[in-house]
A and B are shown apart, each in its own frame.
Chain A
Amino acid sequence: KAGVTQTPRYLIKTRGQQVTLSCSPISGHRSVSWYQQTPGQGLQFLFEYFSETQRNKGNFPGRFSGRQFSNSRSEMNVSTLELGDSALYLCASSLDSRNTEAFFGQGTRLTVV
């Protein structure tokens, strides 16, 4: 079956702009979580969604937001982009919020100039 699909793979934006990233989980998976990966900070948890509800949130400013649709697809949005938002954004899907195995997508590499 198809894996986790993230689009776009690469993105270049200017400071102050906003961006929306998309994640399609594995078919049947209802839990989607988002992570920011940078060389300096490693993998940092952004938020987790299950059945269209945000269940958990990491320590990121309000400029970072997300949502999940009824088909489990998820989007994350970053407004008023800063240079420090340049990172690889990874999405992971799990069968449900209590199921252990998380499958990661290849990520969206965002560059803010």
Chain B
Amino acid sequence: GENVEQHPSTLSVQEGDSAVIKCTYSDSASNYFPWYKQELGKGPQLIIDIRSNVGEKKDQRIAVTLNKTAKHFSLHITETQPEDSAVYFCAASRLGTGGFKTIFGAGTRLFVKA
């Protein structure tokens, strides 16, 4: 079946360092790849997304890359800050006129040490 694998499950970095989270998806029809940040007691919040016709997208300290051939996509956070500590989820979605179905990765718990 369709699935998204996400690594690592836990990541601990020093403040100011970079953090990289990687995901692999199985459904070749997926065309939209959002990343969500979830803080304790809150629902996931979209932080960045990328469509299948784009290879890279950047928004300030956050960037996402997509390798459609290899079915890999990654989240890069530079100059990490303690407030970046949260659980991050990648997802793969197939958008179309028939609605969408989103498959999430298992999540990465990021700790940023001050």
CB-contact partner of A43 in B44, B49, B95, B97, under 8 A: B44
Flag if B101 contacts A106 (CB, 8 Å). Answer: no
Among the listed stretches B15-23, B55-63, B69-77, B103-111, which one makes contact with chain A, having 4 or more residues with CB under 8 Å of it?
B103-111
Closest to A53 in B: B99
User: What is the CA–CA distance of A44 and B43 in the complex, to the nearest angstrom?
Assistant: 14
With a CB–CB cut-off of 8 A, which chain A residues contact B103? Answer: 45
Which of the four size classes fits the interface of chain A? Answer: 20 to 34
List of A residues within 8 angstroms of B32 by Cβ: 100
Bound Cα distance from A106 to B32, whole angstroms: 23
29 contacts between A and B (CB under 8 A): A31-B99, A31-B100, A33-B102, A42-B89, A42-B106, A42-B107, A43-B91, A44-B104, A45-B101, A45-B102, A45-B103, A45-B104, A48-B101, A56-B100, A56-B101, A59-B1, A90-B44, A92-B43, A97-B100, A98-B96, A100-B49, A100-B51, A100-B93, A101-B49, A102-B34, A102-B46, A104-B36, A105-B43, A107-B43
Enumerate chain B interface residues (CB-CB to A < 8 A). Answer: 1, 32, 34, 36, 41-46, 49, 51, 89, 91, 93, 95-107
